[in-house]
Amino acid sequence: MGGSISWLITILLLLVTMLANLRARGEDFDNELSFSNGIQPLEGDEEDEQDEDIIESGFSSRFPVWRSQGAGRIPVNVDSFGAVGDGDTDDTKAFLSAWEKACSLDNAVFLVPEQRRYKVNATRFRGPCQKKLIIQISGTIVAPEEPKTWDPKNPRVWLVFSNLEGVKIQGGGVIDGSGSKWWAASCKINKTNPCRGAPTALTIDSSSNLRVKDLTIQSAQQIHFTISKSEAARISGIRVKSPRDSPNTDGIHISESTDISIQNCRIGTGDDCISIVNGSFNIKMKRIECGPGHGISIGSLGKDNSMGVVTGVVLDMATLTGTTNGLRIKTWQGGSGYVRSVRFENVIMNDVENPIIIDQFYCDSQTTCKNQVPFVIMQTSAVKISQVMYRNIQGTSKTPKAMNFACSDTVPCSNIVLNNINLERENGTTETFCNCAMGFDYGFVRPAADCLRIDESSGCSSGSLNAQNDSRLQCTEL
Ligand SMILES: *[C@@H]1O[C@H](CO)[C@@H](O)[C@H](O)[C@H]1NC(C)=O
Ligand SMILES: *[C@@H]1O[C@H](CO)[C@@H](O)[C@H](O)[C@H]1NC(C)=O
Ligand SMILES: *[C@@H]1O[C@H](CO)[C@@H](O)[C@H](O)[C@H]1NC(C)=O
Ligand SMILES: *[C@@H]1O[C@H](CO)[C@@H](O)[C@H](O)[C@H]1NC(C)=O
Ligand SMILES: *[C@@H]1O[C@H](CO)[C@@H](O)[C@H](O)[C@H]1NC(C)=O
């Protein structure tokens, strides 16, 4: 008897030592966040560190008190704080109590166990927390489905994690916004509904050095996953699932954030798969599957004459299938600021409606989208778009207009570069449309993009179409 116990203890000790060694081998993920300048490709940072796998396989509720100091992680299981996980009971309080505990401990694992469904109200999980917190979502977190009883203090958010540093969010679980009643109440679905915003399912705000991986986010009330006011975040293995007709359900939305990488994500939804808006710099996306959805977008920017700035965006290796747009930059008329240093490369389009589009006449509102023409446009400001490269873009366009550079007359696009493009249409030809778009193409480019070859010094309206009279430039609602 005694012999077998000491044997067990030896095995356990061995295990702990092994785990600690493995973890030590994993690089500090902070180091891998350092981005090279400008728009270099993502290099060598796609492989995951070993240490996270240990957490995933080594943790389960079967070992609730693994407390070997130093090497060990301290699980803080929401069940230990009274969460029921039957999909119906309100587990909000249990989550908050567990969060308070996990946040106060070094090396804690905030654990949402698998095979359960936890109903949680709009909740803010605030930091700062102690070191090395892991948020392990292995089960399902589900939102209450009734918009009418939604917490009026948090009309636009559901789960918010804020002021965190060096945290990992992972676990293979599901975040389910129960969005269908919100969608039905949207003014985009039924014009008689008032236009009100709905909650974003998962928000990470004012945080840094984050790692978010291996989660499914589905049926969001509105946006699925927002990263705002944050820096140095690596996001990978995120799946977004919502129907193609769900309104405003962007997949991943980046706002006012710097040095963000998004890799190996599969997004199917009713709005942009990824949208990058104001104040975002150095955003890298790699291996993205998008569809259904509205494509991968920079913008919209410049709404209500605001200033919008986005620089340093790279998309490398993406497949877009059946989306309404492919690679899109969208700005409102009358805005200011700029979009600069963007590269889209190695992209496959499958039956995409607007595979390549710059739309400086964007609008998306309930009030009539009136073009600010004909009399005002010559004075209208715009977000300046420059240094945008499209390289190795292949596949099929659903519409003839495979490439559309609808730039502002007053602030033309410049340095648009096309290389190795082949966009065809199953039953017809494709074409390139330009308005005030300056740049050049080289290598194989189909459809031909001669309309880009305009000398900027000559002024754009001499060589190209002019927005004042072109019905194709009427404010587009996509
Ligand atoms: C969660 O929301 C419901 C209404 O949907 C409310 O009855 C309940 O009190 C809320 N829970 C907490 C902890 O606030
Ligand atoms: C739109 O909403 C109104 C009022 O709620 C309702 O009467 C109407 O049936 C709805 N229309 C559709 C198409 O769902
Ligand atoms: C956009 O971001 C810049 C700073 O990056 C800020 O000055 C400006 O106010 C922001 N615009 C909007 C509409 O939030
Ligand atoms: C192309 O034409 C064929 C034969 O007319 C038709 O069956 C097919 O649906 C068409 N494809 C598209 C994308 O329009
Ligand atoms: C705009 O269109 C009108 C008629 O549709 C035409 O008379 C006018 O000359 C056009 N203006 C320009 C600048 O092309």
| For the chain, domain boundaries | 68-271, 272-478
Residue 372 pLDDT: 46
Distance CA 432, CA 142 (A): 45
pLDDT of residue 10: 60
Q: Whose CA is nearest to atom 14 of ligand 5?
A: 469
Question: Which tokens in the block code for residue 181?
Answer: 């009643």
Q: Which residues pair with 261 in a beta bridge?
A: 234, 284
| 459 CA from centroid of ligand 4 (Å) | 41
Query: Rounded to whole angstroms, how far apart are CA atoms 224 and 218?
Result: 7
Q: What is the mean pLDDT of residues 61-70?
A: 42
pLDDT tens string 10-37: 655 555 555 544 443 333 332 333 333 3
Mean pLDDT of 119-148: 98
More confident residue, 457 or 63: 457
pLDDT of residue 361: 85
Residue 299 has pLDDT above 80, yes or no: yes
Cβ(202)–Cβ(229) below 8 Å: no
Q: According to the model, what pLDDT value does residue 410 have?
A: 84
Highest mean pLDDT among 47-61, 253-267, 356-370: 253-267
| Confidence grade of residue 215 (pLDDT, cut at 50, 70, 90) | very high
Does residue 253 have an active-site annotation? no
- According to CATH, the superfamily of the domain at 68-271 is Single-stranded right-handed beta-helix, Pectin lyase-like (2.160.20.10)
Distance CA 450, CA 439 (A): 10
Question: What confidence score (pLDDT) does residue 6 get?
Answer: 65
Note the pLDDT of residue 461: 53
- The whole-angstrom separation of Cα 75 and Cα 108 is 6
How far is the centre of ligand 2, averaged over its atoms, from the C-alpha of 143 (Å)? 24
**Is the bond leading into 374 cis (omega within 30 degrees of zero)?**
yes
What average pLDDT does the segment 265-289 reach?
98
The pLDDT value recorded for residue 468 is: 47
Q: d(Cα 354, Cα 245) in Å, to the nearest integer?
A: 18
Q: Is the peptide bond before 128 cis (omega within 30 degrees of 0)?
A: yes
CA distance 233 to 467: 40
Structure tokens at 457: 């010094």
Question: What is the tens place of the pLDDT at every residue in 238-276?
Answer: 999 999 999 999 999 999 999 999 999 999 999 999 999
| Catalytic residue, candidates 294, 330, 340, 398 | 294
Q: Whose CA is nearest to atom 12 of ligand 1?
A: 92
Average pLDDT for 345-370: 83
Q: How confident is the model at residue 46 (pLDDT cuts 50, 70, 90)?
A: very low
Ligand nearest to the CA of 158: 1
> What would the mean pLDDT of 130-142 be, rounded to a whole number?
98
pLDDT score, position 438: 93
* CA 253 and chain centroid, separation: 4
Nearest alpha carbon, ligand 5 atom 11: 469
Is the pLDDT assigned to residue 203 strictly greater than 70?
yes
Q: What percent of the chain has pLDDT over 70?
A: 77
The ligand whose atoms approach the alpha carbon of 187 most closely is 2
What is the pLDDT, as a whole number, of residue 471? Answer: 52
Q: d(Cα 339, Cα 329) in Å, to the nearest integer?
A: 9
d(CA 148, CA 133): 35
What's the average model confidence in pLDDT over 198-209? 98
Q: What is the pLDDT of residues 417-466, one digit of tens each?
A: 999 999 999 889 999 999 999 999 999 999 999 998 766 655 565 344 44
What mean pLDDT is predicted for residues 37-51?
A: 41
Structure tokens at 102: 């996990």
What's the pLDDT at 14?
A: 55
- For residue 447, cis peptide bond before it (omega within 30 degrees of 0): yes
The fold for domain 272-478 equals Pectate Lyase C-like (2.160.20)
CA distances from 183 to 249, 266, 270 (A): 9, 22, 10
CA of 247 relative to ligand 4 center, distance in Å: 29
Atom of ligand 3 nearest to the CA of 278: 1
pLDDT in tens, 366-422: 444 444 444 444 447 899 999 999 999 999 999 999 999 999 888 899 999 999 999
Atom of ligand 1 nearest to the CA of 146: 5
Q: How remote is the C-alpha of 403 from its chain's centroid?
A: 24
Which pLDDT value is given to residue 62? 42
CB of 475 within 8 A of CB of 371?
yes
* CB 383 less than 6 A from any atom of ligand 3: no
Average pLDDT over residues 52-56: 38
> Which pTM does this prediction carry?
0.83
Q: How far apart are CA 357 and CA 188, in angstroms?
A: 23
CB 281 within 8 Å of CB 308: no
DSSP state for residue 182 in the 8-state scheme: H
| DSSP classification of residue 158 | E
| pLDDT of 427 | 87
Nearest-ligand number for the alpha carbon of 122: 1
Residue 461: CB within 6 Å of ligand 5? no
- Quote the mean pLDDT of the chain: 85
* 157 CA to centre of ligand 2 in angstroms: 26
